[in-house]
Structure 1
Amino acid sequence: MKARMIPQEIALLYHLGKGTPRGRRVQEVLGDLGIPCRELGPDDLCQTIGWCAGLAGYQPAEPPAQPPAPVREEAILLGGLTKDRLNHLLAQLKESELTIELKAVITPYNREWTLSKLFSELQEEHRFFLRIQRLTQLTEQAEAQADGDAELRAAALEGRRILEADKAPEPLTLQNAIEGLEAALSRL
């Protein structure tokens, strides 16, 4: 069964309003590609992605008694774009030197989530990828400097094992490997 697509292209922007230089630049890129956008703010954090994207069948949620924690990062959520259009947009943003750390595609799965929940997931995913980058950097550094140092060689082998595993590492495993490599490298 084919997943239902978002019926029209849309870009939802968080902390990328026209009132900010980066927001204006992002909106110019979107405008050049003919992709409509909608600015989101803190009041939208309790709303579903489906409602934020203007999808049929979604109603606004009542504000909760305890508002969600504020989100400080910029974010862009994209719906209805083909793979080619998505890749073209991402290339245009990169060419314009507009790095946006929190990015997501609106899917049938996440459109039921609140904006706050999606941002929480994206933030955790971003932290995970930063840790993977750090582990990669430390592992490569240790491999290059491991001559004759058994502890450093063992730490490098553990880092490489984690990076090449079929399954994503648990956060604690990842953190322990990073700390082990940092400690072994600091002795040099």
Structure 2
Amino acid sequence: MDDEEARTRLLDAAEALFYADGIQAVGMDRIRAESGVPLKRLYRIFPAKEALITAYLERRDRRWMTSLREAVTTTAGAADPVTAVFDWLADWFSEPDFRGCAFLNAYGELGAGPAGVHDVVRRHKAELRSLLADLAVRDREDLADQLLILVEGATVVAALDPGPEPAHLAREMARQLLSAR
């Protein structure tokens, strides 16, 4: 196994374990055991748990944002792209392993430090807000902030009671915001 395969296996294990059980509850030895990567190699690739957490969140951000952008782009011709965001969320909230927002979960567990983790969380939320701003009416800067609050609120509510309903309710609220232009 080369370092790239080891890195992928470590990130796969970290993502599954951190998202399901929480960052604090999962030690490096458990990630080593789940990934099958020797401990010495794990620490060579990720010298500290913070580095692994940061890499996990960065990879999750790329996957999550790519999936959301694709969903909005492919449905933009058939539906309002803003409401397509909430349809995508409804599908995500219905996944059997849904446990809320990995970024808010990480921030909730770790707070403002470690700096690298905090930076990834802030960048993810800024990128999400930017996407919402691109989809919203250009002369309504406040709309992007309102939509972000709807997305985040629906995600938190769904984390407590998984299923599509929070996204459906938030979609209706977004439609009301859009019609009030």
TM-score w.r.t. length of structure 1: 0.27
Task: Specify the structure having the higher radius of gyration (Cα).
Answer: 1
Counting strand residues as a fraction of each chain, which structure ranks higher?
A: 1
Greater RCO (CA < 8 Å, at least 6 residues apart): 2
Counting helix residues as a fraction of each chain, which structure ranks higher?
A: 2
TM-score w.r.t. length of structure 2: 0.28
